[in-house]
Amino acid sequence: MVDWFGGGAQYRRARPTWRVAVVLLVAGLGLAALLLSMSDIAPASASVETSRAAQSSAVVAQVTATEVYSVYLPIVFRDFSQQLEPNDPMYLGGQQWGLGQVHAPRGWYVSTGHAVTVAVVDGGVDLDHPDLVGSLWVNPGEIPGNGIDDDGNGFVDDVHGWDFVDDDGMPDDIYGHGTHVAGIVGATTDNALGMAGMGWEGKVMAVRVLETQDGTVQDVAQGIEYAVDQGAQVINLSLGACYLDMQEMRDAVTYAQDAGVLLVAAAGNTSGSCPFYPAAYDDVIGVAATDSNDQRASFSTYGSHVYVAAPGVAIQSTTLGGGYGSKSGTSMATPMVSGLAALLWTHCPGSTSSQIAQTIADGAVDLGAAGWDSYYGWGRIDASSMTCSVSTTATSLAAAAEPSVTEQASLASFRPGEVIVSLERGTSLQSLGRWQVLDVNRRGTSYLIRVPVGSELAAVRQLLAREGVRYAHLNHVLHAVD
């Protein structure tokens, strides 16, 4: 699939004036000619208009032969079929069907999750598993084995996490559930060993709260709070119970959310419908399970707490003693979503947890009834769509002669690494810092500039705070829909 972007000047449909022919090289298929006819488009206005806040929720405008609409120039092609594939034998051998189902290689091409820590709040992790040791989070303030709380966080020798069952710094797994979950989200990837993890380079913080299959509300709540305090950005909760809405757990969930942490929890394995906590708390991503045919797994709990679905049947992952094995459950589907969140947060580091959740939902493949439904939520996750979403804000960071677009606007996607800025007369872009110019609009009044991927919102803020800037905003995407 190929889409096109651009940014800036208005065009009106008029008499034929120009035609663009693009030859697209398709790897493995040879040369394929793709002709885009734009012969009935001609410049109508030199002004560049910014979207007002009331218009910011519009993602796609319907275009007729008489309507004025905006496109960004130049036209840039992006091939969503590009992939990055690891050399792990189980992946190459087709044993990890779930990664193919969610198009993980397309997501990996964009991001490998290196900057994100996922806390696996579960039954611990096999800390010696050869396919996990390279992925374990390491507490930078702790000296291993000296019996001292070096970083003063109240936990002695918590090098890779903490065991709230035995109250020590060795969150080792004795049952196998947590180890299996950890491998799905973060097995060391592209190491020519075993399996690939959905989060590729993401780090796994081991937090043990289950003795075997069961754990207390207190331990789970403490585990959540510990993970937050140690800097986890995503917390995976492949555990829970129906109707167990306890204030202690609710407070821990709220604590994490107030800190900007994303919580991803299993929807349950009851086969029926019940509010399954902690997935049923507001703003927690509840994950249902699907099979290789994109059908709901028979055991997957359904209800209003289901946000998305992910592969959860016959999922291969790490097991105790350095091995690998298959398990089924929403416990297995949940770390697929946590791994995707890690990829997205690396790609969109300025995003909030709610924006990451929105991006996951926006990119999901709709299954079942159109739109949200109680079996699949917004659909089965898919890593093909790795564009960052931003939430609406009305905050203006700089005065402007006309309504300015600040943090922009809408849940629409934008082009990563690009910002559009317009300057007052007499202001030069060079006077505002060193920016790489990708394109200038036809009047020379606005610039498409390159910024580091993930710093788009910071760049917008920086520009809007400077004198001489009329407006600055993200390079939102306009899709031409057939």
Cα 270 to the center of its chain, rounded Å = 28
Q: Is 158 a catalytic residue?
A: no
Beta bridge partners of 472: 421
The CATH class of 2-79+390-476 is alpha beta
Say if CB 140 and CB 90 are below 8 A apart: no
CATH of domain 89-363: 3.40.50.200
- Whether a cis peptide bond, with omega within 30° of 0, leads into 311 is no
Cα gap 181→235, rounded to integer Å: 12
Smallest CA-to-CA distance from 262 within 83, 475, 89, 118 is with: 118
The single-letter DSSP state of residue 411 is S
Distance separating alpha carbons of residues 32 and 115, to the nearest angstrom: 38
CA 12 vs CA 7, 67, 279, 295: distances in Å: 15, 7, 49, 46
Nearest to 399 by CA among 451, 345, 470, 473: 470
CB-based burial label for 1 (10 Å; 0-12, 13-18, 19+): exposed
Residue 424: DSSP 8-state: -
Angle between helices 330-347 and 353-363 (to 10 degrees): 110
pLDDT of 445: 58
CA 160, CA 155: separation in Å to the nearest integer?
11
DSSP secondary structure letters along 426-481: T--GGGG---EEEEE-TTSSEEEEE--TT-HHHHHHHHHTSTTEEEEEEEE-----
**Within a 10 A sphere around the Cβ of 62, how many other Cβ atoms?**
7
**What are the residues facing 121 on neighbouring strands?**
207
Which is the catalytic residue, given 129, 177, 347, 476?
177
**Residue 258 backbone phi and psi in degrees, to 5:** -65, -25
CA-CA distance, 113 to 2, in Å (whole number)? 24
The catalytic residue among 51, 56, 103, 122 is 122
Report how far residue 258's alpha carbon sits from residue 281's, in angstroms, rounded to the nearest whole number. 14
CA dihedral for 194, 195, 196, 197, sign (positive or negative): negative
CA distances from 171 to 57, 319, 335, 451, 454 (A): 46, 15, 18, 41, 33
Give the model's pLDDT for residue 470. Answer: 77
Bond from prior residue into 335 cis (ω within 30 degrees of 0): no
Q: At what angle do helices 177-186 and 330-347 cross, to 10 degrees?
A: 30
- Residue 227 confidence (pLDDT): 97
Choice among 331, 389, 410, 422 that is catalytic: 331
Q: What angle do CA 315, 188, 108 make, to 5 degrees?
A: 80
Cβ neighbours of 443 (radius 10 Å): 14
Q: What is the pLDDT along the chain (482 residues), one digit of tens a residue?
A: 332 222 323 222 233 333 333 333 333 334 333 333 333 333 333 332 333 233 333 333 333 333 333 333 333 334 446 899 999 999 999 999 999 999 999 999 999 999 899 999 999 999 999 999 999 999 999 999 999 999 999 999 999 999 999 999 999 999 999 999 999 999 999 999 999 999 999 999 999 999 888 888 888 999 999 999 999 999 999 999 888 887 788 889 999 999 999 999 999 999 999 999 999 999 999 999 999 999 999 999 999 999 999 999 999 999 999 999 999 999 999 999 999 999 999 999 989 999 999 999 999 999 999 999 999 999 999 999 887 876 533 222 222 233 333 333 333 446 677 777 778 888 877 777 777 776 665 446 567 777 888 887 788 788 888 888 877 766 643 321 12
Evaluate whether 2-79+390-476 and 89-363 have a shared fold. no
The full set of domain ranges for the chain reads: 2-79+390-476, 89-363
Residues contacting 442, CB < 8 A, separation 6+: 9, 43, 46, 73
Kindly list the distances between the CA atom of residue 323 and the CA atoms of 93, 193, 320, 377, in Å, as whole numbers in the listed order.
16, 11, 6, 33
Nearest-5° Cα angle at 111, 107 to 112: 100
Q: Which is it for strands 276-277 and 241-242: parallel, antiparallel or unpaired?
A: antiparallel
User: What is 308-361 written as a DSSP string?
Assistant: EEEE-SSEEEEEGGGEEEEE-SHHHHHHHHHHHHHHHHHHSTT--HHHHHHHHH
Catalytic residue list contains 103:
no
The pLDDT, as a whole number, for residue 412 is 40
Active site residue 177: yes
